Amino acid sequence: MSHSETAAVPAEVAKAVMNDPIELARQRLIVALDVPDARSAMRLVAELEGTCRWFKVGLELFVAAGPAVLEPIVARGHNVFLDLKLHDIPNTVAGAVRSAAGLGVRMLTVHAGGGPAMLAAAKNALAGVTNPPELLAVTVLTSMDADQLHAVGVDCMPSLQVETLAKMGIGAGIRGFVCSPQEVAAVRSLTGPEGVLVIPGIRPAGAALGDQKRVAGPAEALRLGASYLVVGRPITQAPNPVEAAKAILEEMAEAM
Ligand code: C5P
């Protein structure tokens, strides 16, 4: 991981963390808070905060509750990934990125499909920001397969389109990408170790796929080169979310 995550942590604490595989796994698991309101989100955060270090706020929660929903999560010391998947003209995206940069979040998404000018504008908007969020370009949504891509006029396999978008993003100065587990190895070979690869579409053995199409288990995604795993429903809709998160962390720790 390329973040200076432990920069402010005393050396002995950092050393203990480095020697604890579960803690290392915690630094790389992001729980998607896909819930309809702030109250449900905070209930999940309170339940999971002894177990998880990262929470993702996406469109459902952000549209319902606004930026204010981020404050208590950040204030409780958690890492927040703001997954707004911005996709608009460069000037508008740059403005939205500047607004988001003031919210205390650690990661922020834009759609790679917005093109190189939009990606460059998003990156430039963070120049000079202290502690900027990691800017991640979303390649092909993990819910899309070849048929869905064909329907939007892209006549190639998702894996090829992911590579095309990742190469374009790298050319625009982006080093963070969101892709499915099935493309992570190819994107890792393009970015090298500097790449921050954030991978949704994670399904532990036996978990329901829901709308996800290009999936893999937590251990496999890590082995293929993921920096971070994003897990939503397999944790948040489990009968016992803490136990579900712990099982994923154990699988991750073993694979690391
Ligand atoms: O519930 P589940 O584990 O499928 O949630 C995955 C999360 O990752 C969702 O919040 C979704 O918005 C997000 N995501 C995704 N595919 C992408 C980018 C983000 O599933 N390409």
Q: What is the DSSP string of 2-34?
A: -S-TTTTS-HHHHHHHHT-HHHHHHTTEEEE--
Query: In the annotation, is 246 catalytic?
Result: no
User: Residue 8's pLDDT is what?
Assistant: 54
Q: Which residues in the chain show pLDDT less than 50?
A: 1-7
Residue 142 beta carbon below 6 angstroms from any ligand 1 atom: yes
Give, for ligand 1, the residue of 29, 34, 159, 177 to mutate: max count of ligand atoms closer than 8 Å to Cβ.
34
Rounded to two decimals, what is the model's pTM?
Answer: 0.90
Candidates 15, 56, 85, 123; catalytic one: 85
For 166, the 3-state DSSP assignment is: helix
The Å distance, Cα 77 to ligand 1 centre, comes to: 23
pLDDT computed for residue 1 by the predictor: 44
- The encoded tokens of residue 254 equal 């073993």
- What pLDDT is recorded for position 16? 62
212 pocket-lining for ligand 1 (C-beta < 6 Å): yes
The reported pLDDT for the residue numbered 6 is 38
Residue-wise pLDDT for 1-16, tens only, equals: 444 443 455 676 666 6
What is the structure's pLDDT at 135? 98
Q: What is the pLDDT of residue 13?
A: 63
Q: What tokens were used for 69?
A: 């929903």
pLDDT at residue number 108: 98
Contact 226, 197 (CB under 8 A): yes
Query: What's the pLDDT tens digit per position in 135-182?
Result: 999 999 988 899 999 999 999 999 999 999 999 999 999 999 999 999
Q: At the top level of CATH, which class does the domain 3-255 belong to?
A: alpha beta
